Amino acid sequence: MPPGRRIVPTPITAGLRVDELVERYFTAYNGARLREACQVLADKAMSDGVTVGLTITGALTPAGLGYSTVVPMIEAGLVDWIVSTGANLYHDIHYSLGFQLFSASPYLNDLKLREEKIIRIYDILFDQDVLLESDAFLRRVLVAPEFQRRMGTSELHYLLGKYVRATEDELGTGHRSILSAAYASGVPIYTSSPGDSTLGMNVAALRLDGNALQIDVESDVNESTAIVYDAKASGGQSAVVILGGGSPKNFALQTEPQIQEILNIPEAGHDYFVQFTDARPDTGGLSGATPSEAMTWGKIDPEQLPDSVVCYADSTIAWPIAVAYVLSKGRQRPLKRLYERRGEMVERLRQAYEANKGKVHADE
């Protein structure tokens, strides 16, 4: 008898629930990987005692996937910290401000769109004024007194989320952005490349005007590492859920090499690794970051490789299905509110670093 799960073909019928679709009909290839990813998330990675980090790349929020998929997971206590591109956080604000984005054909005349001052993100269109008005909103907020100092991106996003949420409420847009939801739920958000977005461009422009806001990237590294260390040192586990790849993916995964290699603190790696990607390792797009390769860097606990899944599928397809599956299983946890514990966790990391300085570990 071959190992594995027997495939028993049955017809799809009307009224099928998403969990039934995933469990019964995603039988092989990347459908099966998506089923495995859904089950690892619902049954293991998002269990009590696991700290879940979510990384976000690709233009997901312009497509509305911030409010429709990420926010419900935040509010259900299933995402504890986030690493996102600045672009996803910035474009999500358009909806908070009541602006309209449109789904259209990707095969339009771009020169004509340019002449009509219409911006295109593949098959998403919006007026150029959406950018200009969003920039104006950011600049009005970022000159407020509480921004006039050096801070990490978690604090920047938390303060910005406070203003965004107040604006959503004032305008009655009916939208909740990732920034707004994370602010209300105490979920820290990091941007690994803070200058690489319109949000960062506006921070830079304000510096030319004498604004005192500066980004402290070192505190971002220490805080994110402290979150993972605290999760493991407290007897819990760490999970990383990766949408796409890029810098946010590595920033979340590098927390373990930071603990083991740089700070010389004994650790084994993240316990759960789930990624949705269309990149390939043989062309370099996924090199060093498949679960087995990441294990060689100390990023993934080798004992947990069976609970590491890479689904080679577009995040805009796979992630909504995964979210619907997890929520359909009734998964919900109390909010960890890690933002409010940043100082405490960094101090715990510092103490462990001091205690292990100069030590030679048994496996070296």
pLDDT in tens, the chain (364 residues): 888 889 999 999 999 999 999 999 999 999 999 999 999 999 999 999 999 999 999 999 999 999 999 999 999 999 999 999 999 999 999 999 999 999 999 999 999 999 999 999 999 999 999 999 999 999 999 999 999 999 999 999 999 999 999 999 999 999 999 999 999 999 999 999 999 999 999 999 999 999 999 999 999 999 999 999 999 999 999 999 999 999 999 999 999 999 999 999 999 899 999 999 988 887 777 756 677 777 777 777 777 667 789 999 999 999 999 999 999 999 999 999 999 999 999 999 999 999 998 787 544 4
Per-residue confidence (pLDDT) for residue 281, from 0 to 100? 81
Q: How many helices (H) and strands (E) does the chain have?
A: 16, 11
pLDDT given at position 346: 98
Burial class (CB in 10 A: 0-12, 13-18, 19+), 274: buried
Strands 81-84 and 50-56: parallel
* Region at 49 (left for phi over 0; alpha for psi -120 to 50; beta for the rest): left
For residues 222 and 53, the answer to whether their CB atoms sit within 8 Å is no
> Do 277 and 240 meet the contact criterion of CB atoms below 8 Å apart?
no
Q: What is the pLDDT of residue 300?
A: 72
Which conformational region is residue 117 in: left (phi greater than 0), alpha (psi within -120 to 50 degrees), or beta? left
- What pLDDT score was predicted for residue 287? 58
pLDDT given for residue 17 in this prediction:
95
Q: Is 124 helix (H, G, I), strand (E, B) or coil?
A: strand
Angstrom distance (rounded) from CA 23 to CA 7:
11
pLDDT at 4: 84
Check 232, 249, 299, 336 and give the catalytic one.
Answer: 299
Residues 6+ apart with CB under 8 A from 284: none
- Tokens 């998929």 -> residue: 69
* pLDDT, position 28: 95
Question: Domain limits of the chain?
Answer: 18-354
| pLDDT at res. 288 | 60
* Catalytic residue list contains 336: no
CATH topology of domain 18-354: Deoxyhypusine Synthase (3.40.910)
**DSSP at 300:** B
